[in-house]
Amino acid sequence: MTGSIAQRGIKALSGNIAPLTIVAFFAYIVYRFIYRPLCATPLRKIPGPKSFSMTKWPLAFADYKGIRTSRIHSLHQKYGTAVRIGPNEVSFSSLSALRTIYGAGSGFERTTFYRMFDVYGRQNLFTFASTKQHAERKKALANAYSKSVILSPNAIAKPLIEKNVKEYLELLVKEKAVTEEIFQSLHWFSLDSITGFLYGSQFGGTHALTGDQTHRTMLNDIIDHSRRSLSWYAVHLGAYTKWLYTRTGLMERIVTNLGLLPMQKPATYTGIRAHALKSWISFETAVTEKGPAQNLAIMEKLWKYNESSKGTRLDSLDMASELADHFLAGIDTTSDTTMFTIWALSRPENWKYQEKLIEEVDNIPDTDCNQDGYPTVEAADKLPYLDAVLKETLRLYAPLPASEPRSLPVDTTIDGYFIPAGTVCGDMTEMKKWFWAFSSGGRMCIGLHLAMAEMTTLLAAIYREYTTSGYERQKGVSPGITSRFEVFYDETLPKFEEHKCWINFEKRPTSTT
């Protein structure tokens, strides 16, 4: 009797398991995606579309379509200066919020988003979340990037930049048909500049400007348009993307043949990171056997700082990672900005600005030019009109015009809204409106002075020799640059061409050299 009752009870319970499981599943879905994000968080008071508040995927879909920036902008137009764009993400659009999030001493840290920029499995200056880690690493490098060192004739930057400027001007004559597509040729200039600065001529300095095809093709994976697709997968499907790119043997062939890779190998920065690691290993081998030389390259300075450090010392991969990160950061930024400057000055409506710039560079005295007849780094640094042109270009066409997510490890208030600890915040609209090209505070771009020296010196030399104009076939077309998931271009024009910019360089009859 007892056994039969027990058996009936078990049978009845087992018959209810499936319905209970379904009810529990739906209860979880309701709690996870409706109740918790819409009712059980202080962020519920921040305006925004309910679909964005419930899940990250509406914004991820905007990323996939390459319209993140315009989508967030449209949300601000509809909801105001504070918009909830994810279950745990808020976008602000006010100067006060900009200062709160990115200002000096704000305490806001970088999010895990930046970990996709780790190199060789190690974090670096760009990917450290905490301000303490970032500050400690910056101590080892900040002096080498200071303006006084960049302009010093006894340091590596000045002679390197002036050499590369000469080689670029020579290239405009020797390979005119190639270099007039300036997106590519300016990348060669920035490549040779950053590698020479980091690794010196002996261990990793490149020679793309003088025709080394191996060094030129190193940039192919940067130019590849599918890098945007890879960025999307790396951010939104990180574990899956890592699995795809770590397959070997038969599984690698299957993954490749099925077209599952967001970007065919070599993936973005593969060539750069391989070259960077090879350069570091060559240097480390030499310095271990013979001791450090006096080539003034950044890797030697980092090595010496680490050797004399009384705190936690970096291992070999830490230093290699740091240098590789500076390597990739120093290519697109300067080349894209220089490209947009030349392109903007070459438009018919802006020729008056080009003429004024030409007048300024023509007034550089011969005593402020080097033996090749080109303005020195110091002379270019003192040109107020060129400085203004460059800064306006940076304001209009920032080289990294994408979201810069931050979070604070404690609760805070921004523009009157309570923001719980760990909430991802950003302020892209005001960053683009005001001059924020190099960020601010402790996270300000460490390469600011190097980048400005490269751009001002090259532009001063170009406009002492040439006038520039656009190609007729590109009339009404803006050059476009890749930034993570999007292509950025001059939106006042109806069309863009990604990673292409054709410019006519016309020798000036009164050029000074």
The reply to whether 445 sits in an annotated binding site is yes
The residues near 90 (Cβ < 8 Å, ≥ 6 apart) are: 43, 46, 82, 83, 84, 414, 417, 419, 423, 424, 425, 426
The residues near 367 (Cβ < 8 Å, ≥ 6 apart) are: none
The tally of CA atoms less than 13 A away on the side-chain side of residue 110 is 24
CB 437 within 8 A of CB 101: no
Check residue 502 and report its DSSP letter.
B
| Phi, psi of 46, rounded to the nearest 5 degrees | -90, 130
Which tokens in the block code for residue 127? 């990917």
| Phi, psi of 477, rounded to the nearest 5 degrees | -120, 130
Q: Which of 198, 188, 207, 193 is nearest to 124 (CA)?
A: 198
| Plot region of 508 (φ>0 → left; ψ -120 to 50 → alpha; else → beta) | beta
SS (H, E, C) 327-387: HHHHHHHHHHHHHHHHHHHHCHHHHHHHHHHHHHHHCCCHHHECCCCCECHHHHHCCHHHH
Check residue 400 and report its DSSP letter.
S
Question: Which stretches of 140-181 are DSSP H helices?
Answer: 147-151, 157-174, 176-179
Which tokens in the block code for residue 135? 């500050």
SS3 40: coil
SS3 82: strand
Q: Which of 454, 146, 457 is nearest to 298 (CA)?
A: 146
The tally of CA atoms less than 13 A away on the side-chain side of residue 173 is 8
Q: Which of 49, 105, 109, 107 is nearest to 78 (CA)?
A: 49
Which tokens in the block code for residue 501? 């910019």
| Strands 109-110 and 406-407, bridge-based pairing | antiparallel
Q: What residues are designated binding site for heme?
A: 445
Q: What residues are designated binding site?
A: 445
